[in-house]
Amino acid sequence: MRRILVTGALGQIGSELVPALRARHGAEQVIASDIRVPPAGAGTDGPFAVLDVTNFRQLQDLVRRHEIGTLYHLAALLSATAEERPHVAWEINMGGLYKILEVARENRCALFHPSSIAAFGPGTPRAATPQDTVQRPNTMYGVTKVAGELLADYYAHRFGLDVRGLRFPGLISHTALPGGGTTDYAVAIFYDALRHGRYRCFLGPDTRLDMMYMPDAVRATLELMEADPARLEHRNAFNIAAANFTPAELAAEIRKHLPGFEIEYEVDPQRQAIADSWPQSLDDTAARTEWGWRPRYDLAAMTAEMLEQLRPKLKLA
């Protein structure tokens, strides 16, 4: 079997996807890569390479040297950072994807490329957003996600590349922190709830968004990549949904475990505007019918497990 390369492996998704891929295929079969060097002690459970995804030669060399057959391309800037540094976001999110697609084409690799709820914009129906609908985002992150979906579709149709993708909602994980996203509050709230008993939220109390616990996101990724290609009509990129809540609802759920927990709101206008431009919920019927997607974690199950996992990590009884 040809090997697997994961870009952005030290990020929020990569930190859990790499171990899942290694458990399935063997540690030596999965090359983790990132532009950052892993912190001492981390990244030693299998091969690791420093990789700048915008450097075509470095990428090509890595893919050929390790005989890569499948790429999981996770390296990207998230929404809030992309809005602060739009030129860098274009360079990394689009420039990186274009080079990954070219390397995948030349070496006949399969490719997973995540999209996001950010691929939709203010003109999109906000509730139960259909799989195929208006996509006119007004953020740089969203623009790169729509363009990425289209470019991936182009490579699939024009060159027969097996490229697949998911529109991830906000992702929640106890393993790695997200960085620079609009949905990051839904992770930070757990740390502050356990450490300080209170949290100051940068989104307003009624900001409703889809969210997903990382084990569901990792399983969705693996299931999509293993799905029978003959059944896939969409490929790039499927709506998927699991939990759906507002900051106030998440706070209420945390309070069931930590009765004294308090939340206050100090809205960041930029991140609030980004969240308000996104759908409140996605219709994931296509994912359910084309490859059998079923979430396992709702708000209650995710909250209970996040608190249980973070207590020992934060050295709290």
Residue 14 interacting with ligand AKB (CB under 6 A): no
Cβ closest to ligand AKB, residue 168 vs residue 190: 168
- Report DSSP state, residue 39: P
73 contacts: CB under 8 Å, gap ≥ 6: 7, 8, 53, 96, 97, 100, 111, 112, 113, 114
Cβ closest to ligand AKB, residue 79 vs residue 303: 79
Residue 181 interacting with ligand AKB (CB under 6 A): yes
- Supply the angle between the helices 185-196 and 247-255 in degrees, to the nearest 10: 30
Site for ligand AKB in 42-81 (CB under 6 A): 78-79
Q: How many residues bind ligand AKB (CB under 6 A)?
A: 12
Distance CA 271, CA 125 (A): 20
- The residue from 14, 43, 121, 170 that contacts ligand AKB (CB under 6 A) is 170
Residues that are catalytic? 141
In this structure, the chain runs to a length of 317
Name the minimum Å distance from CB 25 to ligand AKB: 27
To which residue do tokens 């990569």 refer?
A: 14
Closest CA to 202 of 175, 183, 221, 215: 183
Do residues 170 and 188 lie in contact, with contact meaning Cβ atoms separated by under 8 Å? no
- The residue from 13, 32, 117, 143 that contacts ligand AKB (CB under 6 A) is 117
Cβ closest to ligand AKB, residue 46 vs residue 86: 86
Residue nearest to ligand AKB (CB): 181
Site for ligand AKB in 183-212 (CB under 6 A): 183
91 contacts: CB under 8 Å, gap ≥ 6: 54
Cβ closest to ligand AKB, residue 82 vs residue 103: 82
Name the minimum Å distance from CB 126 to ligand AKB: 15
Residue 116 interacting with ligand AKB (CB under 6 A): yes
Interacting span for ligand AKB (CB under 6 A) from 32-40, 181-189, 232-240, 281-289: 181-189
Binding track over 128-167 against ligand AKB, x by CB under 6 A: -------------x--------------------------
Locate 181 and state its tokens: 């996203």
Cβ closest to ligand AKB, residue 258 vs residue 267: 267
Do residues 116 and 268 lie in contact, with contact meaning Cβ atoms separated by under 8 Å? no
Residue 247 interacting with ligand AKB (CB under 6 A): no
Cβ closest to ligand AKB, residue 33 vs residue 182: 182
Binding track over 207-236 against ligand AKB, x by CB under 6 A: ------------------------------
Residue 17 interacting with ligand AKB (CB under 6 A): no
- The bridge status of strand 243-245 relative to strand 209-213 is antiparallel
Name the minimum Å distance from CB 198 to ligand AKB: 23
Cβ closest to ligand AKB, residue 12 vs residue 29: 12
Burial of 232: CB neighbours in 10 Å, binned 0-12, 13-18, 19+: middle
Q: Would you call 206 helix, strand, or coil by DSSP?
A: coil
Strands (E), the chain: 3-7, 30-34, 48-50, 68-73, 110-112, 115-116, 163-164, 166-168, 170-172, 198-201, 209-213, 238-239, 243-245, 262-265
49 contacts: CB under 8 Å, gap ≥ 6: 31, 32, 33, 62
Residue 118 interacting with ligand AKB (CB under 6 A): yes
Which residues lie near ligand AKB (CB under 6 A)? 78-79, 116-118, 141, 168, 170-171, 181-183
